[in-house]
Amino acid sequence: MARFDMNLLGALDALLSECNVTRAAEKLNVTQSTMSGMLQRLRFQFDDQLLTRNGRLMELTPFARALQTPVREALRGVEALVHAEPIFEPKTSTRSFSIMASDYFTTLVLPKVLKRLSVEAPGVRVAVNSLAQPLQRLFSAEVDLCISSSDITQLSNEPDRLQSEYLFSDEFVCIVREDHPLGKGCTLEEYLSYPHIAIRFDGIPMSIESLALVKHAPHYQAPYSVTDFSRISCVVAESYIIGVVQRRLATLSARALPIRMFKPPFMIPDLDEAMIWHPRHIDDPAHCWLRAIFREITQEQFQGGEVRESENRRSSVIPLKPQEKVYHKEKDIRSWAPNARQQILHGLERVK
């Protein structure tokens, strides 16, 4: 393949995401004829049609679909260099971050994080997304940082391409309404005799508790599911359905709802909550600063808490990277620009 023309990278990304020449042109604020010309050059570049007509619609060729993720990664690398801040100053920065986390984390930790950001970095913007397709959105750079169970990286075909850092642990407990017949000491058979409500996240096949239960009841499937842990408490309070949530969230919910908790009749590994991010952000001073905020707040909030770390980690939990050094505002672009360039080159090699 001929040397790739970097001027076509934005057009390629727009065409791959829009699957339409007119909309791609509008996205880049160019004329339709200009975008059509770029498409022809890209077809020659890759020796592939990229977009083909199917009735009244255009659809991506198999090769074009394979380009979507590497092209997005390459483009994000370029954007990182263009918008790089030589020295990150929280007080004056207008950086935007996209974060993904479950409602468990946002309920417990996010208020303290945003309170601190509003004081230390009033111009920084943060968009918080629900936990859905975390790996795909980390690789495509739609999300800058994901807070989730540390072992979700094992769902990736390339787990070593993601960075992670352990934050804290929590244990899972069963929750039921106050007058529910079940409680501490119930058997697995009794437990399974009642309907259950489970957690389901898009892009994560099974939750920790579902994986643990399937070892004892391979054919059991919870008849109900939700995408937020907090909804489980609301459902349980109004029925005889059983739910499983983290102890800290159950404790908070019990203050407002008529529910109680007890130990499950089977072993469920502790939840190890971690920060997960793409290597493109390893040395980005702004990203380092944001990770330091999450690290410091969780250490302050959960150190010496009622839920201790599991002494024996399950093999399903990946070993995490050693805790990184805390952000220093003197860190400048020279330390992370080479990494960004490496990401661009890696993305373009995958395009080729």
Q: Is the CB of residue 48 less than 8 Å from the CB of residue 63?
A: yes
Q: What's the one-letter identity of residue 158?
A: E
Q: What's the one-letter identity of residue 191?
A: Y
Q: How far apart are CA 179 and CA 142, in angstroms?
A: 45
The answer to whether residues 287 and 159 belong to one domain is: yes
Looking at the DSSP bridge assignments, the partners of residue 277 are 163
Please check whether residue 153 lies inside any domain of the structure.
Answer: yes
Please check whether residue 74 lies inside any domain of the structure.
Answer: yes
Looking at the DSSP bridge assignments, the partners of residue 198 are 225
Averages of pLDDT over each 10 residues, the chain, 352 residues: 73 90 90 91 89 87 87 73 70 92 94 95 94 86 90 65 90 94 90 91 79 83 90 94 95 94 92 91 88 94 53 32 39 42 50 50
The answer to whether residues 298 and 313 belong to one domain is: yes
Q: Is the CB of residue 286 less than 8 Å from the CB of residue 212?
A: no
Which one of 211, 233, 262 terminates a domain? 262
Q: How far apart are CA 336 and CA 352, in angstroms?
A: 25
The answer to whether residues 53 and 104 belong to one domain is: no
pLDDT of residue 82: 61
Q: Is the CB of residue 34 less than 8 Å from the CB of residue 23?
A: no
Q: Kindly write down the DSSP assignment for every residue of 163-227, as one continuous string.
A: EEEEEEEE-EEEEEETT-S--TT--HHHHHTS-EEEE-BTTBSS-HHHHHHHTT-TT---SEEES
Please check whether residue 299 lies inside any domain of the structure.
Answer: yes
In which domain, by residue range, is 218 found? 172-262
Please check whether residue 77 lies inside any domain of the structure.
Answer: yes
The model's pTM is: 0.68
CA distances to 14, 129, 323 from 75, rounded to whole Å, are 11, 22, 29
The answer to whether residues 244 and 189 belong to one domain is: yes
Summarize the chain as % helix, strand, coil (round to 5). 45, 20, 35
Please check whether residue 206 lies inside any domain of the structure.
Answer: yes
Helix (H) or strand (E) holding 97: strand 96-101
pLDDT of residue 215: 84
The answer to whether residues 149 and 197 belong to one domain is: no
Residue listed under structure tokens 């102890």: 247
Q: How far apart are CA 319 and CA 151, in angstroms?
A: 9
Checking phi first, is residue 168 left (phi over 0); if not, alpha (psi -120 to 50) or beta?
beta
CA distances to 174, 218, 245, 277, 317 from 263, rounded to whole Å, are 6, 21, 11, 33, 21
pLDDT of residue 167: 94
Q: What is the count of structural domains for the chain?
A: 3
Q: Is the CB of residue 98 less than 8 Å from the CB of residue 127?
A: yes
In three-state secondary structure terms, 26 is helix
The answer to whether residues 258 and 279 belong to one domain is: no
> And the tokens for 107?
């309920």
The answer to whether residues 122 and 186 belong to one domain is: no
The answer to whether residues 22 and 57 belong to one domain is: yes
Q: How far apart are CA 55 and CA 57, in angstroms?
A: 6
The answer to whether residues 53 and 11 belong to one domain is: yes
Strands 125-129 and 163-170: unpaired
The answer to whether residues 247 and 128 belong to one domain is: no
Q: Is the CB of residue 91 less than 8 Å from the CB of residue 119?
A: no
Q: How far apart are CA 191 and CA 98, in angstroms?
A: 40
- Domain containing residue 210: CATH number: 3.40.190.10
Please check whether residue 347 lies inside any domain of the structure.
Answer: no
The answer to whether residues 162 and 34 belong to one domain is: no
Which one of 213, 243, 262 terminates a domain? 262
- Backbone φ, ψ for residue 304 (5° rounding): 75, 15
The answer to whether residues 163 and 277 belong to one domain is: yes
Please check whether residue 21 lies inside any domain of the structure.
Answer: yes
